[in-house]
Structure 1
Amino acid sequence: MIPDAASPLVATLAVLVAVTVIVSVVGSITRVVMRLLAAPGVVVHELAHKQVCHLVGVPVKEVVYFRFGDPPGYVRHAQPGRYRESFAISVAPFLVNTVVSVAAFLGFAALASSLGIADALATVTADPIASANALRDGLAAASSGELALAIALGWLGLAVGVQAFPSTGDANTLWTHSRSEWRRRPVVLLGVPVVVVIYVVNLLSWLWADVLYALGLCLLAFYAVGGLGF
């Protein structure tokens, strides 16, 4: 029999254990969901690495487009013989992911504008109530297919844009090449600022710098389409 004095302690411990288990399970589920949402961006990122390897003639040894491990994807290739080859392979995802993200956001912006959603969002700061009513009317008038397409394009643009920046592993590769070749070919020093930017962006990822970049691409797409009052 448990003494009465110990009952509150046992109950407290049971609650703490239950909360810990719940938090752990929710955290694991959240990580899995976030990885799945980011999957398109990871696939495009690694595909860009792989395709540029083929373009510059660097043999590819292994490709993993997506997984739940860390990193979520990777490309193992032979050591590039020239700095420009290494540079092209490293920065390829930034260019490819940016183009794909902007293309998806352009489709999203065009669809949002045709449904009146962009106009509703443009007035949210001036008249929140009217904006909410216009947004509700626009969503109600849209077909399920149009809404599904808008969500898919917005998700694709965000997922691909977030994964645009090269990883620290790419920066390490460029830095190693720069250190080994700058005496023979000083022109490689021109790539050092790119290395610094990659390191800084990855360092600021905890401040959602990658997400802010993707949102910036979205705003650019709306500007190009003419939505949000630009």
Structure 2
Amino acid sequence: MLPEPLLSALLLVLITALIVAVIAGLGTVLWVTLQLASAPGVVVHEFAHALACRLTGVRIREVVYFRFGDPAGYVRHEQPKRYLDAFVIGVAPFLVNTVVAFGALLGFADFVTTTGIVTPADGVLPAVDTSGASNELLAGTAVLGWLGLVIGVHAFPSTGDANALWAQTRTRWRRSPLVLLGIPFVLVVYVVSLLSWLWADVLYAIGLLLLAFAVVGSPLV
């Protein structure tokens, strides 16, 4: 029979291993859940890149709209022949995601306002009352809000988008000095992509939500 101190040590190791396994399992479940929840934003982001490629005539080599990995999606294409084409491809997701997200959030704000789900309360804070809405309406409204927010979060260009645009600027400015006019935009793309680490992309989506409520005249704003 093993000595008692050794048995205690083995038991401690087993308990520690079990706790680590549980935490790792929960972390994996949480990661997969977050990936699936954000999938619509990734899909629209990559669709915008692909659409810009087709509109500018840049040949697409491979498109992955969503996957479990880093990056969660990507578009591989040939080098654009014109700087303008590269610029359009780089900034397309910001425009497309913003428009799609704002449209979904407008629908969400309109539903919760006109159906009475959100009503004024003593002129201070809005009150939420879901008793008069059907389950189908509540589900549809929730889906619109979720789609609007996750698509809005993914409106910001990625670091890869910024790198690709900077590479185009660096290699073309000697042949076409007009490319230098695009440098401020490239810097903005870099700054915006870096600000994503500070949750600026989430704040942007929330800003779109508040703007949508303001447009429909909701008591939220």
What's the TM-score bracket when you normalise by the shorter of the two chains?
over 0.9
In the TM superposition, residue 200 of structure 1 has moved relative to its aligned partner by 2.3
Any unmatched runs of 5+ in structure 1?
none
SS of 1:76's equivalent? strand
SS of 1:72's equivalent? coil
Which segment is superposed worse, 162-171 or 92-101? Answer: 162-171
In the TM superposition, residue 196 of structure 1 has moved relative to its aligned partner by 2.0
SS of 2:119's equivalent? helix
Shift of the 101–122 alpha-carbon distance from structure 1 to 2, 3 Å rule, reads: farther
Mapping 1:1-230, distance limit 5 Å? 1-119=1-119, 126=124, 134-135=127-128, 138-230=129-221
- Residue 115 of structure 1 contacts residue 139 of structure 1 at CA under 8 Å; is this kept in 2? no
> Percent identity between the aligned chains?
52
Shift of the 71–218 alpha-carbon distance from structure 1 to 2, 3 Å rule, reads: same
- Residue 109 of structure 1 contacts residue 227 of structure 1 at CA under 8 Å; is this kept in 2? yes
* In structure 2, distance between residues paired with 1:88 and 1:12: 58
- Residue 122 of structure 1 contacts residue 227 of structure 1 at CA under 8 Å; is this kept in 2? no
Q: Alpha carbon RMSD of aligned pairs, Å?
A: 1.9
Structure with greater proportional helix content = 1
- Counterpart of 2:47, as a letter, is L
* In structure 1, distance between residues paired with 2:170 and 2:122: 49
* In structure 2, distance between residues paired with 1:106 and 1:20: 44
- Residue 122 of structure 1 contacts residue 229 of structure 1 at CA under 8 Å; is this kept in 2? no
Q: What is the TM-score normalised by the length of structure 2?
A: 0.93
Shift of the 52–24 alpha-carbon distance from structure 1 to 2, 3 Å rule, reads: same
In the TM superposition, residue 208 of structure 1 has moved relative to its aligned partner by 1.3
- Counterpart of 1:117, as a letter, is I
